[in-house]
């Protein structure tokens, strides 16, 4: 993988951590900010879609399905950040997604993972358990919140499965990502309007601006990742992108003033090591 592609994927990782930071930081409920970010993704993507056009017709079914999953994902992310530090929830969500993917691969694709990949999965699981136990021991996070983060990880595995097929059928990865963001934003808007209409109709200016910025970063991060997969091995792209865990940890410590204990750092690096080992072993 060339230096240019590595740099692109690192940008994808950093922007992933950045939009997560925008949801966790600020006043009010993170759940409202997660909806604002997804709505912002739709608002910023839709105008560009007018110039690129829609992707291939059959891929629209996958984009629409993924949009529903993304809306669920952002709901769970908001709930996770409501009850847990970013430095706890983000590594669990990112690391947990690979456990789901690795577990489902033999069933869905008859894909037998090599032994090093399974070792990596168990390392990730150990890191997540360590992270969760540390968070509970500090009495700042409940087991229920950690369960929500694990569910969020499951939705990542689901939309990754859908999008990996959809983007290949689209004929245009950029148009596919823009369509996905537009539909995801529309789904978030409709759900928010039905459940909490005031949160949309009377959205504070600061939340709206945060949503637009986060939405743009959301589309940029995922778009870069899907583009990189078309020009570099999937396993290498995914392994480099998981450095978002470290970017997220840095933002949590420096800007959110979260107490990142030695045990939490160890757990984060264990999760990252397991992710890299699993991705490279599958390559």
Nearest to 9 by CA among 224, 245, 279: 224
pLDDT on residue 29: 86
Kindly give the confidence (pLDDT) of every residue in the chain, 283 residues in length, as a single tens digit, with 9 standing for 90 and above: 677 888 898 899 999 999 999 999 877 789 899 999 999 999 999 999 999 999 988 999 999 999 999 999 999 999 999 988 898 889 888 888 777 877 776 676 565 667 887 788 788 888 877 877 777 777 678 889 989 999 999 998 888 888 888 888 888 889 999 999 999 999 999 988 888 887 777 788 888 999 999 999 999 999 998 888 777 766 667 767 877 888 888 898 889 888 777 887 888 888 888 877 876 765 5
Sign of the CA dihedral 186, 192, 194, 197?
Answer: negative
DSSP 8-state assignment for residue 141: S
CA distance 193 to 196: 6
pLDDT on residue 67: 96
pLDDT on residue 185: 96
CA distance 39 to 51: 20
CA distance 270 to 220: 28
CA distance 168 to 190: 28
Contact predicate 235/102, CB 8 Å: no
pLDDT on residue 282: 58
> pTM for the full model?
0.86
Residue 201 burial (C-beta neighbours within 10 Å; 0-12, 13-18, 19+): exposed
**CB-facing half-sphere around the CA of 85: CA atoms within 13 A:** 24
CA distance 62 to 81: 28
Contact predicate 233/281, CB 8 Å: no
- Measured between its terminal Cα atoms, the distance across the chain in Å is 12
pLDDT on residue 232: 75
pLDDT on residue 80: 93
- Residues, the chain, total? 283
CA distance 37 to 33: 6
pLDDT on residue 47: 96
pLDDT on residue 209: 93
CA distance 48 to 58: 21
pLDDT on residue 186: 95
Residue 201 backbone dihedrals phi, psi, to 5 degrees: -70, -25
How many helices (H) and strands (E) in the chain?
12, 0
Query: Tokens 């969760």 map to which residue?
Result: 132
The range of the structural domain enclosing residue 248 comes to: 3-282
Number of domains composing the chain: 1
CA distance 209 to 206: 5
**CB-facing half-sphere around the CA of 281: CA atoms within 13 A:** 19
């Amino acid at each position: 993988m060339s230096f240019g592609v590595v740099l692109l994927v690192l940008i994808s990782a950093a922007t992933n951590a950045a939009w997560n930071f925008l949801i966790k930081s600020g006043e009010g409920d993170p759940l409202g900010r997660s909806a604002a970010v997804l709505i912002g993704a739709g608002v910023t993507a839709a105008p560009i879609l007018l110039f690129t056009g829609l992707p291939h017709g059959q891929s629209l079914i996958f984009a629409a399905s993924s949009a529903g999953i993304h809306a669920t994902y952002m709901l769970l992310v908001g709930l996770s950040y409501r009850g847990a530090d970013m430095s706890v929830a983000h590594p669990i969500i990112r690391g947990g997604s690979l456990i789901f993917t690795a577990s489902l691969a033999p069933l869905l694709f008859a894909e037998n993972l090599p032994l090093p990949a399974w070792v990596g999965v168990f390392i990730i699981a150990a890191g997540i358990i360590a992270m969760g136990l540390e968070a509970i021991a500090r009495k700042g996070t409940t087991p229920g919140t950690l369960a929500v983060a694990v569910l969020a990880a499951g939705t990542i595995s689901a939309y990754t499965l859908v999008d990996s097929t959809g983007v290949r059928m689209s004929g245009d990865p950029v148009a596919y990502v823009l369509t996905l963001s537009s539909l995801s934003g529309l789904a978030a808007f409709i759900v928010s309007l039905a459940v909490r209409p005031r949160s949309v109709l009377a959205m504070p200016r600061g939340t709206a601006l945060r949503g637009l910025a986060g939405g743009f970063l959301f589309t940029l991060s995922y778009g870069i990742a899907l583009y990189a997969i078309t020009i570099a091995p999937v396993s290498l792209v995914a392994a480099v992108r998981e450095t978002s865990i470290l970017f997220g940890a840095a933002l949590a410590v420096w800007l959110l003033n979260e107490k990142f204990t030695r045990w939490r750092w160890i757990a984060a690096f264990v999760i990252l090591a397991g992710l890299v080992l699993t991705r490279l072993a599958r390559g």
